């Protein structure tokens, strides 16, 4: 299993959060419950294997639900 690897990635993600921007509104992203949540528009981007998928079409909470 790659649990340690993923844990390391998650730690890196926490360090990245101040540098990543939402592709929809360019506001800041925060890691919340395993997803990258935009502080501006509220979109939640999935994190797959420790890698944030910053694709607007893949985001949740943008009105699709
Ligand atoms: Zn946004």
Ligand 1 mean position to 56 CA, how many Å? 9
Cα 42 from Cα 5, distance rounded (Å): 28
Cα 49 from Cα 28, distance rounded (Å): 21
- Kindly report the pTM of this predicted structure: 0.69
Report, as ranges of residue numbers, the positions in the chain whose pLDDT lies below 50.
64-65
Is position 65 within any domain? no
Q: Which parts of 1-65 fold into alpha helices (H)? A: 3-16
Residue 34: domain span: 3-58
Ligand 1 mean position to 1 CA, how many Å? 33
Ligand 1 mean position to 11 CA, how many Å? 22
Cα 46 from Cα 51, distance rounded (Å): 8
pLDDT, tens digit, 9 for 90 and up, residues 48-59: 988 889 999 999
Ligand 1 mean position to 5 CA, how many Å? 28
Ligand 1 mean position to 16 CA, how many Å? 16
Is position 34 within any domain? yes
Cα 12 from Cα 37, distance rounded (Å): 16
Number of structural domains (the chain) is 1
């Amino acid at each position: 299993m790659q649990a340690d690897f993923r844990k390391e990635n998650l730690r890196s993600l926490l360090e990245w959060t101040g540098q990543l921007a939402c592709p929809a509104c360019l506001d800041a992203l925060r890691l919340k419950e395993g997803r990258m949540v935009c502080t501006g528009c509220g979109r939640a981007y999935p994190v797959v294997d420790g890698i944030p998928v910053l694709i607007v079409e893949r985001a949740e909470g943008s009105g699709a639900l």
